[in-house]
Chains A and B, each alone.
Chain A
Amino acid sequence: MQDHFKRENREKYSYIACSLEDVRKISEFMFFTDGRVEIDKKKANIRIEETPKGFVVIYIDNKRYQVEMLEKNQNNYQVSVNGNTYNYSIETKLSYKRKRNLSLKASETTKHDLHAPMPGKIVDILAAENSLVKKGDSLIILEAMKMQNEILAAVSSKVIKINVSVGDVVNKGDLLMCFE
């Protein structure tokens, strides 16, 4: 398959010019949750270009998609297309199976931990450790960009640990509370 690719630019990434046939070959190995591979049914041409201003653009026929590599960590990719974010991991058949089994197991035992949805400052905590909360209850008031945001309980559960205190400044994704 390597023969089908011609590298055009070696700078930041290599941008590869490929034909529909190449895409079809790649697609054979692609796994989409919604099963969409419409591209194969249409005679579409694929082009990858770097614009004069340095943006990377993929054309499918004449439809243009602006792409950007946001994050790359081994085989995990975060890609932006037209400003929307997509996460992919590229796996071998074997590693994919293993990963799926692991994630299935994990979801069975997932604890509903509460993470900060945005960066901000904790201005009030409305639940106590070991207290029972109902879905929709206010748990924390988080001030971000001078707005007070209520953070609500996603499920009815018991608070087993509170990891922050009033006045703390938190980043997006920081663990705020653990539930049973």
Chain B
Amino acid sequence: MKRKESFKFNSLLIANRGEIAIRIISTAKKLGIKTFVLKTAKEPKALYLRYADEIIDLSERNNKDINEFLDIESIIEISKQYKIDAIHPGYGFLAENSLFAERCADENICFIGPASDVIYMMGNKTVAKEIAIKHKIPVTKGSVGAVNTVQEAHVIAAEIGFPVIIKAASGGGGRGMRIVNNDDELEKLFNLASVEAGKAFNDPSVFIEKYISKPRHIEFQILADEHGNVVHLGERDCSIQRKHQKLIEEAPAFALNAALREKMGNAAIKIAKAVGYTNAGTVEFLLDEKSDFYFMEMNTRIQVEHPVTEAITGLDLIEWQLRIASGQKLAYTQKDIKFSGWAIEFRVNAEDVEANFSPNQGTINKIHIPKGKNIRIDTGVENGSVITPYFDSMIAKIIITGPDRAKTIANARSAFNKFMIEGIKTTVPFFKAILNNEKFLSGNFDTSFIEKDLTEYNYREQNEEMVAALFAAMDFYKDEKLENESFIDYKKGKNLSPWLFNNRLKLR
């Protein structure tokens, strides 16, 4: 039996769904903390519901226009009603909402994350950048504060030089972001970014900065306790992105050596200390061809890709989030943090890659993800799960480990060859294409990889077309045969043999 430790809280509401809810519950269980989740009418049979100790049923509200996971007052109300003393927001939804963190504090509920004012500071990219400049952390040249008009944008862009990137001041996840190559495009793209920012974040303000070409997205995981101790847990390379959405993340980063890791890690720690950061956080940098790095932003939440860091450090990040929130001291100093092996995470999304990655809704009739000692699966779905339009399209994270990068890639290939799914289309054929791309294998890629280096988006086995034709032919033959057997005289003249296959006659 595990020794029961004392936490500031005994019950934890997970204000989230899907795989991350299950992930948080598994650690909470290990620590003896009672877990609560919210059941919504949008996915009343979701897998995560089965893992929690208690389900709070909101499905009778049945208002599909309201997102239960974003409804601050209702979540606070529920927590009081059920005497819940801590809330883990997961990622997305209210995870980086400073108002929510503040409301939790008001009601004496422990918010698993940094303090409200820290979320606010780091959530505003302009403010975050000013803090970095003040502490001599390199940043990219750009506008000081928000850019309000197209006229202003023209002046600033000319000053820093094209290409520039327009970003939502309160943004994230690639929304409200546009790369502008020349002055002619500026007006149109400025307006697009601003409208998108307004819709997505309720704040149309944008800022402009120099666009660094061939950048790698390198981020550092940090842990900071409430006693002033901060450590970094190494980096993740998240350069494999499409439209600024991460698809594959790995740790460690191929582009970093020990010296650069130390330099960037120290910069990350400096930023965290500068704002009095507590709990788990991620400091994002761009790393250019010359190994110069620039601070981009800080994410004040647990991230989707945290498992790769767990794989190479052996730490349970959710556990440390809970411990830190409970006032415990970090049990490690920087020199205790050791890295071993390699890990790559693949986000399996329900998307039709052949149709421009459009979301593929439907029911997962069957899913089979191979198990093994090199494979970690974080998923919120099972056979029969329904992919709804209400939430994001990620169905599973497959984290592959190995002693080095080459072996990890080989393990990943073998895992994806055994992956099977029926009912929806996923990004798995796309991952197989990446795992067979020379540039990816070499490790020398940047954030433009998918756009520029990946020529074929779907990996096709030899003879795949032939197998498809064969399967269709057999099915047709079977139907014909059944028809002939059961209706002896009926349609006797309709004998379609010999067969001809008209390959992909359906124009796409």
- Tell whether, in the assembled complex, residue B471 and residue A118 are in contact, meaning their CB atoms are under 8 Å apart: no
A13 → chain B, closest Cβ, in Å?
A: 6
Contacts of A58 in B (CB 8 A): 467, 470-471
The reply to whether the CB of B438 lies closer than 8 angstroms to some CB of chain A is: no
Q: For the complex, what is the distance from the CA of A15 to the CA of B474, rounded to whole Å?
A: 8
Interface residues of B in 475-493 (CB under 8 A from A): 475-478, 481-482
Q: Is the CB of A88 within 8 A of B469?
A: yes
Taken together as a complex, chains A and B put the C-alpha atoms of A141 and B23 apart, in Å, by: 37
CB distance from B190 to the nearest CB of A (A): 13
B30 CB–A CB distance under 8 Å = no
Q: Of the candidates A1, A81, A90, which one forms a contact with B468 in the assembled complex, judged by CB atoms under 8 Å apart?
A: A81
Given contacts A16-B474, A100-B502, contact A68 B463 (CB under 8 A): no
Interface residues of A in 141-180 (CB under 8 A from B): 141, 143-148, 150, 172
Asked whether any CB of chain B lies closer than 8 Å to the CB of A67, the reply is: yes
Given contacts A53-B366, A53-B368, whether A86 and B465 have CB atoms under 8 Å apart is: yes
Which chain A residue lies CB-closest to B173? Answer: A146
Task: Tell me the complex Cα distance, A123–B470, Å.
Answer: 44
Which B residues from 183 to 233 make CB contacts under 8 A with A? Answer: 188, 192, 195-196, 199-200
In the complex, A19 has a CB within 8 A of chain B: no
**Min distance, Cβ B411 to any Cβ of chain A, angstroms:** 18
Q: Does A147 lie within 8 Å of B422, measured CB to CB?
A: no
Give Cα distance in the complex from A66 to B293, angstroms. Answer: 44
B window 376-418: CB within 8 A of A: 389, 392-393, 417
Q: How far is the CB of A43 from chain B (nearest CB, A)?
A: 14
With a cutoff of 8 Å between Cβ atoms, the chain B residues found around residue A13 in the complex are: 475, 478
- Among A75, A89, A96, find the residue whose CB has the most chain B CB atoms closer than 10 A: A89
Contact A84 B471 (CB under 8 A): no
* A-B Cβ contacts below 8 A, count: 207
Q: Is B354 an interface residue (CB 8 A)?
A: yes
Question: A16 and B477: CB pair below 8 A?
Answer: yes
Contacts of A86 in B (CB 8 A): 464-465, 468-469, 472, 504
**Within 8 Å of chain A (Cβ to Cβ): is B461?**
yes
Tell yes or no: B420 within 8 A of A by CB: yes
Query: Is the CB of A33 closer than 8 A to any CB of chain B?
Result: yes
Binary contact track B230-267/A, C-beta < 8 Å → 1, others 0: 00000000000001000000000000000000000000
Rounded to whole angstroms, the CA-CA distance of A135 and B507 in the bound complex is: 21
CB of A89 within 8 A of CB of B502, answer: yes
Q: Verify A118–B474 contact, CB threshold 8 A.
A: no
* Contact residues in B for A33 (Cβ distance below 8 Å): 503-504
Query: Is the pair A30, B469 in contact by a Cβ cutoff of 8 Å?
Result: yes
Partner pick for B471 among A64, A69, A87, A141, CB 8 A cutoff: A69
CB of B151 closer than 8 Å to a CB of A: no
A128 in the interface, Cβ–Cβ < 8 Å?
no
With A55-B368, A60-B467, A147-B174: A88-B504 Cβ-Cβ less than 8 Å: yes
Given contacts A58-B471, A92-B500, contact A32 B358 (CB under 8 A): no
Q: What 1/0 flags go to B446-469 for Cβ under 8 Å of A?
A: 000000000000111111111111
| Given known A65-B467, A83-B426, contact A117–B356 (CB-CB < 8 A) | yes
**Contact A79–B471 (Cβ < 8 Å):** yes
Q: How far is the CA of A9 from the CA of B476 in the complex (A)?
A: 15
B372 in contact (CB, < 8 A): no
Q: Give, as a whole number of angstroms, the nearest-CB distance from B189 to chain A.
A: 9
Q: Are A88 and B501 in contact (CB under 8 A)?
A: yes
Using a CB-CB cutoff of 8 Å, which residues 35-65 of chain A contact chain B?
Answer: 36-39, 46, 48, 51, 53-58, 60, 63-65
A103 at the interface (CB under 8 A from B): yes
Q: For residues 102 through 158 of chain A, which have their beta carbon under 8 Å from a beta carbon of chain B?
A: 103, 117-119, 123, 138, 141, 143-148, 150
Interface string of A71-99 (1 = CB under 8 A from B): 01001111111111111111111011001
- What is the minimal beta-carbon distance from A5 to any residue of chain B, in angstroms? 7
Interface presence of B125 (CB below 8 A): no
Question: B499 is contacted by which of A79, A91, A100, A146 (Cβ under 8 Å)?
Answer: A91
A87 near B192 with CB under 8 A, answer no
Least CB distance, A155 to chain B, in whole angstroms: 16
With a CB–CB cut-off of 8 A, which chain B residues contact A117? 355-356, 358
Minimal beta-carbon separation of B351 from chain A (angstroms)? 10
Q: Is B359 an interface residue (CB 8 A)?
A: yes
Separation in Å of the A115 CB from the closest CB of chain B?
11
Query: Which of A55, A87, A145 touches B366 (beta carbons < 8 Å)?
Result: A55
CA distance A147 to B174 in the complex (A): 8
At the interface, yes or no: B421 with Cβ under 8 Å from chain A? yes
Find chain A residues with CB under 8 A from B505 CB. Answer: 87-89, 99, 103
Shortest CB-to-CB span from B309 to chain A, Å, is 27
> Which residues of A sit under 8 angstroms from B468, Cβ to Cβ?
67, 79-81, 86, 88
Least CB distance from B405 to A in Å reads 25
What are 13 A-B contacts with C-beta separation under 8 Å? A36-B465, A38-B466, A51-B368, A58-B467, A58-B471, A63-B461, A63-B462, A78-B506, A81-B465, A85-B425, A89-B506, A91-B501, A92-B500
| Closest 4 A/B residue pairs (Cβ) | A118-B358, A86-B468, A77-B472, A87-B506
List 15 other contacts, CB 8 Å, given A36-B466, A83-B428.
A32-B503, A54-B366, A55-B422, A65-B461, A65-B464, A77-B472, A83-B421, A83-B426, A86-B472, A92-B496, A117-B356, A138-B188, A144-B358, A144-B359, A146-B200
